[in-house]
Chain A
Amino acid sequence: MQLQRLIRTLDTFWEKRDCAIVQPYDMAMGAGTFHPATFFGALGPQPSRVAYVQPSRRPTDGRYGENPLRMQRYYQYQVLLKPTPDNMQQLYLESLRACGIRLEDHDIRFVQDDWESPTLGAWGLGWEVWMDSLEVTQFTYFQQVGGIDLEHIACEITYGLERIAMFAQRTEGVYQLAYGPGVSYGDLHLANEKEGSEYNFHHADVALHQELFAKYETDAKRLLAAKMLMPAYEQLLQCSHTFNLLDARGAVSQSDRPRFVLRIRSLAKQCAELYLERITGAGGGSQGTGEASAK
């Protein structure tokens, strides 16, 4: 199954299970969790059912297109269901079947993963799903988002699209994947992986990005003060990606790291609080703010 068809198959699968199929967010981000549909969708009592592809940027994971499994930009397919159905695991496994994967041929394992996104103030418990010892999906029951303890639990499924396509197509590496008619994944992305890795590790301007980080942060604070939710959140996204780039450039020392993370998390917390204030009309409503129970 070509990758573009795989995406359509998942769209159809989740659409039939009452999910809104939304589009990728049009800004650079490290994971589908940063998409507002998940970050805000997980907060508050209202039901959420969404699915979408999110191109994800991981500057430090770039391997110049030489590693068959690691890339600095790749696709996540993300599903968020709240409330969480009792047969969540089964739904997920059925979706793999829909993608043409014969489960009986494989060794499938749910291996403990205490997922955490320190910058988003989010954590949850769940698993890495392993197929024949390769992690293909992250499966998480959110417990906290934006530093806020969740009363209404959302479950997040993050498919590694390329890896699942590799199983569906039985190719050995990501660049040989058939993307669409006559087009391979390599045709579309290999050159960018090489150049992107070069940029992330060597060419990104450290001074510029340090300055940008500070400016995005200042702007986010200003917008939060003006109660401009999405504009503030978008500045947070900029901060997060800029931090990742600085990290890839080796410009973040071990001692700087916690401070950067804390600065972004503080913005995430304020965005979450502002969002809840909007939907409930007052503060966190029944949701406790539980920084203390975060890992």
Chain B
Amino acid sequence: MKRSKISHAPRPTPHAPQAADLLLEIGTEELPAAYLPDLIDQLRREAAALLAANHLTAGEVSAWGAPRRLVLHIRALCAVQRKPAVEVRGPSQQAAYDKEGNPTQALLGFLRSQQGSVNHTKLISGDKGAYVFLVKPAITTPTVKVLPELLPQLIGKLKAPKTMRWDASGVRFARPIRWLLALYGTTPIRCTCGRLSSAARTWIDGPKHPRAVAVKSPEQYLAALTRSGTLLNQDERRAWIEQTINKAAKQAGGRIAPEMISYGLLDEVTHLVERPVPLEGRFDSSYLALPREVLLASMAKHQRVFAIDAGSKLAPRLVAILEGTPAKPQQVRQVIERILNARLADSLLFWKEDLKRPLETVPISGIAVHEKLGSMQDKAERLRQLAHTLAELWQLGPEERRDLERACRLAKADLATTMVREFPTLQGIMGKHYALQQGEPRAVAEAIGEHYLPLADKLPKTLLGGALSIIDKYDTLAGYFSIGIQPTGDQDPFGLRRAAQGIVEVAWSVHRPLRLDALLKTRATLKPFGANAQADAAAIGRGIRQYLVDRLYTFAWPKPAPSVDCIDAVLASPGDDLIDLMDRIRMLQQLYGHPALLKAAKVIERTRNILKGASVSQRDVDPAHLKEAPERTLWDLYQQQHGRVAELAQRKSYADATRLFGEQFFEPLHAFFDHVLVNVPEEPLKQNRLALMRAIHQLYTDRIADLSKLSILQTAQPKES
């Protein structure tokens, strides 16, 4: 086979000593496919970092990997390491020499630790007196002498999610390391890793018929691998596999089922083989009666074979990717087909068994959510109650309410079905299929099917799917918070961060009011929740609210995403409806850079500055105490405009409200500050002015955002119109 495109022509360098290519191969027993992409990436990054830290220059650094090997290839690595001269500070002159001018123990100790001699020291005076410095001359070392130490360091830096030991050497890695090959040009580099020493040979042809091949140079290594049919470069391997499957699918009149790529099977298979060979097969078409997701789960998860779409439905075909070409492909095909047919027969049995029992009679009281949070039965009841609240907020019609309530009741039933016990990732999806088969309304079935979303960028498409998704996650979040379990740092064993993030994502896509207070009030009446109902509920509620709104900082906002200060500004203002908060944030982002926003921000900033630290004891402005013209103007303006601003805010026309506020108040406020002193000795005058400032300030900040948080205030000045 001649598929590899890794080119390996040597690069001549004109000057001696000549740079050469470095090759390091870490031969292992089969590394987990899920670890490989990251291991390859680490190998490249760590190698580049190690070169830089060790004064080694080189050309392109590449890393490749397959189940049984991780390979580092560095082009034109310099032949000599040149460590520049350095001056190392030692003890002070006072401490370094005794009265007679002889070196003290302090100086001698320093020199010993630095392996230097007193002849190479000098005194340098600075602000803090004179110090002894050891001058270490530039050192050049042949690269071949540096590598035996560096390469094991590099291997030691590779990390995996789970590591193991395989002998008493104490070395840990994702799987056992069985050979090392290190070559610098044509020079073998001798290095060790645990009990293992490098040798100038590699192993090819897989574990079935391992063949040791002596290797004299990096070029020869790559050529030997190519000859054996190994596609070492993972990107080329992935592309080749995808192309090959597509070709097979096309010949069969279809195309590769898109889930095979989106669910990661292509990536996984890429890292399960190094000499990919396709094998086509079929399965019994009677199994096409099973839901698509069940077929895909059996094929992708259990056997790692690819499914083919013919039109909009699956074809009874498969494409397997084998490691190397078996001598009897027909036999292999028969076995793969037989195993798949047997698995699908099992699934069909589950499907028929499960359908015998209506979802509403499936007992779920034995399935615990958490030992302190009751069973799934309890949860279903809580969902029903939360659904009432959400139905009010969203003003659902009677039919929608009925469907949502029904969906709440059935949502968790599939957890007790045989199919979901066999394929846990089909939760929700099976519920939907069983509901449809049992004659439930489509809206009910879709809501059940969508309520675990968002997953892999998929969001609920139906209104009731969105509703159920939100209340399911809200119940989870509130439940765990109420028993004192909250995510900390990276630890989130109950998936609460994902649940909160999911609520924000789904709520934004549905875009209907989500009043957190109303949800909390409902949830707090449902067991279990906090020990001492009222006091706890308030504190827990604050915790949940805070946690949810904090997700706005990590939410994947539609581009252009609002900057952090927009979110800060809105969250500093009151607001209970998550969607309303998000709308205001979006508005600030859209007005960002607009002069009206800057003006409004200036008004907020100036009024805030004057109110800061002042004690305002007067509630309302008393027009009788308005002395100066600019303050009367400002008060009249407030009288005229505050109703309009408030009304626009009330109608959620936040952009209009902001424009109006900024355009109306900026200049009069400016004039006011130019001519009127707020902090006058006469308390009534001062209080009255502070009250006026506060009225203007709060007119906006109580409704929309505290614009003093915006960072544009630090950089831009509004143009005077």
Contacts and interface: CB of A to CB of B under 8 A. Distances in A.
Interface in A128-161: 131-134, 141, 143, 150-153, 155
B29 A89 contact: yes
Given A133-B305, A254-B367, A105 B165 contact: no
A290 interface: no
B168 A152 contact: yes
Nearest to A258: B371
A114 B366 contact: no
Contact of A106 (B67, B320, B332, B338): B332
Interface in B313-370: 320, 322-324, 326-328, 331-332, 335-336, 338-340, 342, 345-346, 366-368
B398 interface: no
Contacts of A172: 338
A104 B326 contact: yes
A83 interface: yes
Interface in A161-194: 167, 170, 172
Given A89-B29, A104-B209, A105-B327, A110 B305 contact: no
Contact of B30 (A63, A112, A133, A254): A112
Interface string B271-296: 01100000100000000000000000
Contacts of B174: 125
Interface residues on A, range: 35 or more
Given A133-B304, A255-B368, A107 B175 contact: no
A127 B164 CA distance: 13
A67 interface: yes
Contacts of A70: 346
What secondary structure prevails in chain B residues at the interface with A?
Answer: loop
A112 B323 contact: no
A170 B330 CA distance: 13
A45 to B, nearest CB: 9
Interface in B165-189: 165-168, 174-176, 178
B32 interface: yes
Contacts of B338: 172
B56 interface: no
A149 to B, nearest CB: 9
Interface string B180-209: 000000000000000000000000000111
B283 to A, nearest CB: 12
A125 B35 CA distance: 13
Contact of A89 (B34, B207, B336): B207
B206 to A, nearest CB: 8
Interface residues on B, range: 35 or more
B98 to A, nearest CB: 50
Contacts of B549: none
B326 A107 contact: yes
B335 A112 contact: no
A269 to B, nearest CB: 21
Contacts of A141: 164-166, 176
B162 A105 contact: no
Contacts of A279: none
Contact of A114 (B162, B176, B178, B272): B162
Given A105-B326, A109-B323, A133 B168 contact: no
Contacts of B67: 110
A27 interface: no
Contact of A67 (B32, B327, B346): B346
Contacts of B346: 63, 67, 70
Contacts of B210: 90
B368 A253 contact: yes
Contacts of A255: 366-368, 371, 375
Contacts of A68: 342
B332 A107 contact: yes
B332 A125 contact: no
Given A110-B30, A132-B332, A104 B323 contact: no
22 contacts: A83-B168, A89-B207, A104-B327, A107-B279, A108-B207, A109-B323, A111-B272, A111-B304, A112-B30, A125-B164, A132-B331, A132-B332, A133-B303, A133-B336, A141-B165, A151-B168, A152-B168, A153-B165, A153-B167, A253-B367, A253-B368, A255-B368
Interface of A: 63, 67-70, 83-84, 86, 89-90, 93, 102-112, 114, 124-125, 127, 131-134, 141, 143, 150-153, 155, 167, 170, 172, 253-255, 295
